[in-house]
Amino acid sequence: MNHALLFSVFIIASCGLAYELIAGALASYLLGDSVTQFSTVIGSYLFAMGIGSWLSRYVEEHLVARFIQVELLVGVLGGFSAAALFFIFAWSAAPFKLALYLAVFGVGVLVGLEIPLVMRILKRDLVFKDVVSQVLTFDYLGALAVSILFPVLLVPHLGLIRSGLLFGLLNVAVALWAWWLFRAQLHNAGWLRVQGRLSMLALLAAFAAAGELTSLAETQLYADDIVHAESTPYQRIVVTRWKDDLRLHLNNNLQFSSRDEYRYHEALVHPGLSTLPAARRVLVLGGGDGLAVREILKYPQIESVTLVDLDPAMTRLFASAPPLRKLNHDALHSAKVTVVNADALQWLEENDDLFDFIVVDFPDPSNFSIGKLYSAAFYRLLEKHLAGDALAVIQSTSPLYARQSFWCIVTTIESVGLVTTPYHALVPSFGEWGFVLAGRRAYRPPPSYAVETRFLTPGTTPGLFVFPGDMARVEAEVNRLNNQVLVRYFEQEWRQVIR
């Protein structure tokens, strides 16, 4: 019986940490700034656990029955929390934070009650030092197990909603197991069994319908029809369609609209590559949708394109889905293209290849994991891969809506000794968008374009390099790995735009 209770500690520790990770991941997906979200969620959760542990002193009678009830409560509240929070955000983002921290606090208090109750039950038969050592050992082992399984197995294959329900089922299973072990000692065994069975049935029904629940929530979240949705270890990928307009969303952030993406990708590629008639080798960092590669392959002299994108699910999707292959002109199947799924910074560190043109097409620096790819350390590595008079072009967010962020990127690139030429273009889905050309020499716009373009013309290109007063240069710090000031600029500026 004691061994069974100790194993239950392993389960409930796994469940407790899982709810914490799910809440942090969901907040990061929907609100951005993963460091802030995980920090505040973890802090609130640990504080609530402390309150739960303190409250356990007031549970004096019927310890097993109270333990079973706590397990049922945490199973239902924790299990349904991800689904409920997803629906709340889809309905209205305003109450989401309040609901998030109420859920975190509630689950934390209940989890804080669990271990003290188990220890007091075990104390009847074991020496106190053995109780403490064994309970804490299983507690830490459970936390280790779920911390490994969460990013590797659970989120990619089950998603956040189904993962939450799975751990809710495990909590209820522990409650029913404890009921079976101690049923002869329980004064209200019948009623506890009914509660356990109802909780199990509710969670099982929700787990079976989790796919429909996720689709329903995302249908409310996105105005257009969802044609593809999946969670990966790195992000939530959603593709929507309205009539002939396909849109890609990563972690709830729009990445492109097929109606005007050509403006963005032409502006990203052609002002730089058109000035490099001798370019043969091109590197694309990010851009797993293949749209930048599509523009690069318009140049017949290009011999090879290396695409480095972190998420294999992205490159696989845009190499396999017919509407997306049509959009990128089957660029990822070109014999000239080599796709590498790796972290761009690590890949640059491990490779010595030189390139004639480099495209840096990362998502905006909304969190620290992406912010490192806009740091001085990253651009220093990038410079080492530029061959001779090669150029790099960097997607640099909006100089209108995130003005200081844009010029922070320019300042950071200049800090490693590269000559910068910033410019901007209007993309209706996003507004004014910014780019930076960087190399070892001064840049001159091309007198003409040797390839077909829908947006760019030789006459309008010089205007891209002119910044009006509301986008003119402002002072900004260098974005370094140890301060990530760019992420702070970006969060502050876009928060004001959203308001």
Q: Give the residue ranges of DSSP H helices in 254-367.
A: 261-273, 291-296, 312-320, 322-327, 344-350
3 state SS of 137:
helix
Residue in 309, 361, 364, 470 annotated catalytic:
361
Q: Is 430 helix (H, G, I), strand (E, B) or coil?
A: coil
> Could you tell me how many helices (H) and strands (E) the chain has, helices first?
18, 11
CA 418/CA 277 separation, integer angstroms = 21
Cα separation, 318 vs 291, whole angstroms: 9
Spatial distance between the Cα atoms of 194 and 172, rounded to a whole number of angstroms = 12
H-state helical runs in 32-127: 34-55, 63-91, 96-122
Within 186-251, residue ranges assigned H as helices are 189-208, 210-221
- 186, 192 in Cβ contact below 8 A? yes
Give the HSE-up count for residue 418: Cα atoms under 13 Å, Cβ half-sphere. Answer: 32
In the residue annotation, 130 being an active-site residue is answered as: no
In the block, residue with structure tokens 């109780």: 131
How far, in Å, CA of 96 to CA of 328, rounded? 37
Rounded to whole angstroms, how far apart are CA atoms 141 and 138? Answer: 5
**Rounded Cα gap, residues 358 and 2, in angstroms:** 62
Q: For residue 183, what is the DSSP state?
A: G
Q: Which amino acid is residue 382, in one-letter code?
A: L
Q: Residue 61 phi/psi, 5° resolution?
A: -125, 160
For helices 155-182 and 2-31, the axis angle rounded to 10 degrees is 150
CB contact at 8 A, 168 and 80: yes
Q: Please list, in sequence order, all residues whose beta carbon lies within 8 angstroms of the beta carbon of residue 266, skipping any fewer than 6 positions away.
A: 295, 453, 454, 455, 456
The β-bridge relationship of strands 245-250 and 236-242 is antiparallel
Strands (DSSP E) found in 428-469:
431-439
**Cβ(164)–Cβ(82) below 8 Å:** yes
Q: Give φ, ψ of 43 to 5 degrees.
A: -60, -45
Positions annotated as catalytic residues are: 361
